[in-house]
Amino acid sequence: MRFSSAIVLLLCLLAGTSAAAAGSAPVQLASSTPPVLYEGTTLAPVRVVADWLGAATIYDPATGKLDVSGLGHTVNMRIGVDSAWVDGQPVTLTVPPVVHHGSTLVPIRFLANAFGASVTYDATQRIVLLQISEREAALKVPPTSAATIAELRAGISDAKLKAATYSKGGTYTVGVFEEPKSNNIVNAMGTGATTWTNAFLLPQYSTLYGNTAPRFDYAPVLASGDPGPITQEGDLFTAVVPLRKDMHWSDGTRFTAADVVFTYMSILAVGPDQLSGYWEYAINKDLLVKVEALDDFTVKFYLTAKPGLAQWQYGLLQVVILPKHHWEPVFKQALESQDPVKTLYAFNDANPVTIGGFISGRWEKGAFFEIKRDPTSNSPYEAIFFHEQGLVIRNTKTGYSYQSENLAGSVVDTVNSGPFVDNVMYRVYLDQNAAYLALQKGEVDYVLNPSGMSKGILGMLEKHPDIAIVQNATNGFRFLGFNCDRYPMNIKAFRQAIATVTDRDWLAENVLQGVIEPIASVVPPGNGFWHNPDAKVWGAGMDEYARLEAAVKILKDAGFTWSKEPEVVPARGGYAVVEGEGLRGPDGRLIPQLTILSPTQGYDPLRYTFALHLEGWIRTLGINVRTRPSDFSLIVERQNTRDYDMIISGYSLGLYPSHLPAFFHSQSGANRSNYVNPTYDSVIEAFLAADEINAARQYAFAAQEILAEDVPYVVLYVNPLTEGYRRDRVRYQFTELLDGIQGSYGMPGSVYMLE
Amino acid sequence: MLRYLGHRLLQILVLLFVFITLTYFILQAMPGDFTSIYASNPQMTPEMIANLQARFGLNESVWVQYVRFLRNIVTGDLGVSFSEYPRPVWDIIKERLPRTFVLFFSANIISFYIGFWLGKWSAWYKGRAADKVLVTGSISLITAFYPLVAFMALWVFSYHLGWLPLNNFVDPILWSNAPLSSMQVFGYIIYAAVVTTALLILVSLLLRKKGVAGAKSRWIPPIVLGLALLSAVALFQRSGLLIYVFDILYHLLLPLFVLTFIRIGSSLLLTRDAVLAVTQEDYVLAARARGLAPAVIRNRYLARNAIHPVVTSLALSLGESFSGGVVTETLFSWPGIGLTLLRASLGGDYPLAVGAFIITGIFLLLGHVAADIATACLDPRLRDSIGR
């Protein structure tokens, strides 16, 4: 093939034919490779044209497959082949796509026409003019090739993977360890909530707002924009939420304000406190008075008080919305029955009406459960563009778009909303080893394991050429908790001294050899938005001896005395620690024997190991302490009755740090460490009252600083989560995110299958 | 006989009551309750946990809960599960019992059958190389670490050789459009097995009553069995279920094989000991002296008299078949009653745990009665004493 490279064309593109756009000046597109003329056909770099059109390009050099999709159209081509497909229909090209000087060139007129754009060639000025219709212009998304980013992030450059191409469709098979508890979303949001129920049902439903992975930005889902300001109207506070006009339920019924009103009012009628679970902590019946439809796509919330973030953005606005026409008779029957909750939860929703892009498939009890792609959903045409700050959402089919108020910087990441698979098959493996054998055998593409894989299994899977391993931080922490009501744990210096001798980094590195990730903050660093990186860490950067000396100083300054003071003495070639004896408090009282309640070695060897080392470190301070390995349920009971000295326990957390008020506010029922600090209480009350997310963040930062100073908990570590998937079968758009792939239940909505 | 049965049933009822009460209070004595799983959730306030406890009736005293529970039991209501609220306990048991039954009952029957024949044979050739191999093999099987054996079998036959499915009881691709649920198909399999067994027993009784004996009658039961199985296959084929039945049976192979294999040892040794015990009896010596064929002495004189402990053991283990086994169910992802019991007990789901205990307890006690009746049928002396 010989190109007429003498003709250098300037590629100019004019957007819009409408009155407003017609007058706009043409935009010249930058391209490293100029367009070329071959046998009377102009060929241009596919990425330049596709990016301008707002379409995504996927090119696989190994097979020569070239797919361009967006604006509701798909074009499939192959390098050197003159037949192509436009929206599934075969067409013949006058000149096939070629690779020229490292760039992929395609017939520009063919590609532009396929996307509804027209091409004019000005021979005198040697300019190609691309024009796009008003309708298509409305659908156009920012010039970012979504699949290219996803491709790079997934490491597709791996030699073995070059042969692989994405495909639309296919079955994504996930190994799970349990079945769902119910096929009924109302039950799943209540007592039936488990990882497995969520994996089954959450991909089928949507909320008004959500936290968008991988960065977990707060963004509208069924709402069409940010919630309106909260204003006072008489005794009540109100806020207006605009809804999307382009959404419909899986049975074709349009999603309207009636569905939203129905959901909130029905849950209020039954009683969120009766329904328990998510209903109870998302819908506060003392706060929400009613929800009203202003028109088909606007709802108004009436509240008794001005809500904080937890109750508003992260509470009320993140409730699963139910289709009125499907659930109304069920609620009616429930409310007429003797026990509405029981009746409601017992409802067998075998033929659900959904909105999330998936719909329940077969559930063979004890063996497998399945969700199928809802073929009517417009979700696969949606892309989310993460800017340095804020995000943009565009739906190329319906024309919907949203842009964060605080949008700033360039696009740093793009995620395409799916589903791109035909169905997701969840196979139940009651034994983890069997599940990972199935992964190795290729029976499943991914194992959904909330605890991540063990070191032994990791060793086995690492050797498998087709299994990719990913590691992510989890959102939670393990800690040493003090009973701040008991002597001497009620003395701040005592807690600070123990925090100072706790060398979590040394233990993580030398004893546990990287199995854990040591952290010191009550908001894990993985939760980037809420974590305060400047909160104090006791003994940071010190070695064992410096830690001991620092701890002794803290105790001495607070008036503690010893019968024999601990010290660091020079020993052969270094130093040695001489354990202290007989520590007495500032009031002269001998420190009694203390107990650390810890999980048993069988239940959690990591926490047990920490307990043993903590015991050793605390002993050096001259404190008589012993570890008592106990059954988990006993630990829970002792924590609930506040009957302990020190305890080693752990929590899993949500993205919004609701645990800051829950665990540490003096009036909170879940404050199991009896921690009382009026300053902290006022800061956390301000945090709860803040209705703006950045203000709340500042209070959360202040709260973390107070806790770091007061040390009701010595935070020890977080378990990193290690997972594996078949890289020869599936491709995720991102794998780096808090709580890993399992945190999004295997990411059924955005996963692609490889051919 | 009826009086005896009545007496035994009364005993069972009393035992069952004691069993339920003990189980109930032992479970209640465990620290924490069902709501403990929410303890690590920062969003669950104590008030929310209290609401949940009220919903499950856990806020009342243990005695009030117990009395309410007993009242429900008497009315045949096992209550609703906490962990799968508000699913009735009976519904959960009904779903898992057939799976447990098919696997464990078959394994027990087959292992006893093979164990009995090998044991008889081993005793007859006592001291020979074959006997030594069998005895050593049996002891090895009894002492083998079962989870390891099961996992090795999985690794070899499913993962490495790929002959058998890796786990579970159905193939999702085949079943995603199946006309019936696997539970229904399990039901049909059990139904076919029960009808076939009943037919065989009936034929054997008829043969015995008509006095048909000897070589002629030997082939009748296998023919009846073959015909029954063929008709079952034909029926399944006609209803379009055959492929699903075969799929379940295909998935059954490995767990059945491993379970049978591991259990053969004990029945073999039991039979061998029992046969050896009667070998020294005078009537055996007399039979030998009369020059009877070794097969006749082995089958009629020795085995018949040695079968007593074997049948008792079989009846008891058949009763046990309904309680399943945690290791087998877990490793082969064959969710049954064993795992249900374990998880419900550990998770504080008292209604489900006690419900499952009651059902398995009933079958165990019935197994004891069956053992009594079976030995009575086999031993005329016992029959007479019961009859009185």
Secondary structure of B61-127 in HEC code, one letter for each residue: CHHHHHHHHHHHHHCCCCCECCCCCCCEHHHHHHHHHHHHHHHHHHHHHHHHHHHHHHHHHHHHCCC
Shortest CA gap A193–chain B (Å):
10
Q: For A465-519, how does the pLDDT look when each residue is reduced to its tens digit (9 = 90+)?
A: 899 999 888 888 999 999 999 999 999 999 999 999 999 998 888 887 777 889 9
Shortest CA gap B48–chain A (Å):
7
Per-residue pLDDT, A260: 97
Q: Is B211 on the interface with A (CB under 8 A)?
A: no
Shortest CA gap B31–chain A (Å):
6
Q: Is B170 on the interface with A (CB under 8 A)?
A: yes
B159 vs A contacts (CB less than 8 Å): 437, 440-441
Contact A348, A311 (CB under 8 A): no
Q: For A414-469, how does the pLDDT look when each residue is reduced to its tens digit (9 = 90+)?
A: 788 888 899 999 999 988 888 999 999 999 999 999 888 888 888 889 889 899 99
Q: For B135-181, how does the pLDDT look when each residue is reduced to its tens digit (9 = 90+)?
A: 999 999 889 888 899 989 989 998 889 899 887 899 998 998 899 99
Q: Is B77 on the interface with A (CB under 8 A)?
A: no
Confidence of residue B378 (pLDDT cuts 50, 70, 90): confident
Across the interface, of A280, A430, A634, the residue whose CB is closest to B329 is: A430
Shortest CA gap A742–chain B (Å):
18
Residue holding tokens 């808090």?
A738
Cα–Cα distance measured from residue A385 to residue A70, given in angstroms and rounded to the nearest whole number = 14
ipTM of the complex: 0.87
Q: Is B343 on the interface with A (CB under 8 A)?
A: no
Per-residue pLDDT, B39: 63
Q: For B77-132, how does the pLDDT look when each residue is reduced to its tens digit (9 = 90+)?
A: 888 888 888 899 999 999 999 999 899 989 999 999 899 989 988 988 888 999 99
Confidence of residue A292 (pLDDT cuts 50, 70, 90): very high
Contact B82, B349 (CB under 8 A): yes
B177 vs A contacts (CB less than 8 Å): 362
B48 vs A contacts (CB less than 8 Å): 273, 276, 280-281
List phi, psi (to 5°) of A72: 80, 10
Q: Is B161 on the interface with A (CB under 8 A)?
A: no
Shortest CA gap A447–chain B (Å):
14
Q: How many A-B residue pairs are in contact by the CB < 8 A criterion?
A: 156
- Residue B385, beta-bridge partner list: none
Across the interface, of B39, B168, B331, the residue whose CB is closest to A427 is: B168
Q: Is B255 on the interface with A (CB under 8 A)?
A: no
A276/B55 CB distance under 8 A: yes
Q: For A379-418, how does the pLDDT look when each residue is reduced to its tens digit (9 = 90+)?
A: 888 888 888 888 889 888 888 999 988 888 877 777 888 8
A428 vs B contacts (CB less than 8 Å): 168, 333, 335
Contact A232, A239 (CB under 8 A): no
Contact A136, A71 (CB under 8 A): yes
Cα–Cα distance measured from residue B104 to residue B278, given in angstroms and rounded to the nearest whole number = 31
Tell me the pTM: 0.77
- Average pLDDT along chain A: 84
The whole-number average pLDDT for the span B200-205 is 85
Shortest CA gap A582–chain B (Å):
35
Confidence of residue A701 (pLDDT cuts 50, 70, 90): very high
Confidence of residue A230 (pLDDT cuts 50, 70, 90): very high
B168/A368 CB distance under 8 A: yes
Q: Which of B159, B167, B329 to mutate to test the interface with A (most CBs of A within 10 A)?
A: B167
Helix, strand or coil for residue B10? helix
% of chain B exceeding 70 in pLDDT = 94
Q: Is B109 on the interface with A (CB under 8 A)?
A: no
Across the interface, of A361, A431, A670, the residue whose CB is closest to B176 is: A361
B170 vs A contacts (CB less than 8 Å): 364, 367-368
Q: Which of B176, B337, B343, B345 to mutate to test the interface with A (most CBs of A within 10 A)?
A: B176
Report residue A607 as tokens.
Answer: 């926490």
The whole-number average pLDDT for the span A133-157 is 39
Does the pLDDT value for residue A14 go beyond 70? no
Across the interface, of B48, B158, B181, the residue whose CB is closest to A276 is: B48
Q: For A307-325, how does the pLDDT look when each residue is reduced to its tens digit (9 = 90+)?
A: 888 889 889 999 999 999 9
A651/B42 CB distance under 8 A: yes
B182 vs A contacts (CB less than 8 Å): 364-367
B333/A428 CB distance under 8 A: yes
What residue segments make up the domains of chain B, in order of their start?
Answer: 2-74
Per-residue pLDDT, A415: 83
Shortest CA gap A364–chain B (Å):
7
Report residue A219 as tokens.
Answer: 């963004």
A658/B42 CB distance under 8 A: yes
Higher pLDDT, A250 or B360: A250
Shortest CA gap A134–chain B (Å):
45
A662/B43 CB distance under 8 A: yes
Q: Is B198 on the interface with A (CB under 8 A)?
A: no
Q: Is B172 on the interface with A (CB under 8 A)?
A: yes
Q: Which of A362, A355, A356, A357 shows the shortest CA–CA distance to A373?
A: A357
% of chain B exceeding 90 in pLDDT = 20
B182/A181 CB distance under 8 A: no
Per-residue pLDDT, B37: 66
A364/B151 CB distance under 8 A: no
Across the interface, of A187, A438, A663, the residue whose CB is closest to B167 is: A438
Q: Is B61 on the interface with A (CB under 8 A)?
A: no
Q: Is B177 on the interface with A (CB under 8 A)?
A: yes
A634/B32 CB distance under 8 A: yes
DSSP A500-543: HH--HHHIIIIISTTSSEE---SS-TTSTTT--TTS--TTTT--
B41 vs A contacts (CB less than 8 Å): 651-652
A365/B176 CB distance under 8 A: no
Q: Which of B344, B279, B383, B360 shows the shortest CA–CA distance to B30?
A: B344
A366/B182 CB distance under 8 A: yes
A633 vs B contacts (CB less than 8 Å): 30-32, 36
- The conformational region for residue B32 under phi > 0 = left, psi -120 to 50 = alpha, else beta, is left
Q: Is B148 on the interface with A (CB under 8 A)?
A: no
User: Nearest-CA residue of chain A relative to B97?
Assistant: A366
User: Nearest-CA residue of chain B relative to A668?
Assistant: B45
Shortest CA gap A744–chain B (Å):
18
Residues A139, A144, A148, A150, CA torsion sign: negative
What are the DSSP E strand ranges found in A20-64?
A: 27-28, 36-38, 41-45, 56-60
Q: Which of A354, A353, A332 shows the shortest CA–CA distance to A344?
A: A332
Shortest CA gap B181–chain A (Å):
7
The whole-number average pLDDT for the span A186-206 is 92
Shortest CA gap A29–chain B (Å):
49
Q: For A557-591, how does the pLDDT look when each residue is reduced to its tens digit (9 = 90+)?
A: 999 999 999 988 888 878 888 899 999 999 999 99
Q: Position A58: which residue type?
A: I
A368/B86 CB distance under 8 A: no
Calculate ∠ Cα A131-A137-A138, nearest 5°: 165
Across the interface, of A437, A651, A658, the residue whose CB is closest to B154 is: A437
Does the pLDDT value for residue A165 go beyond 70? no
B329 vs A contacts (CB less than 8 Å): 430
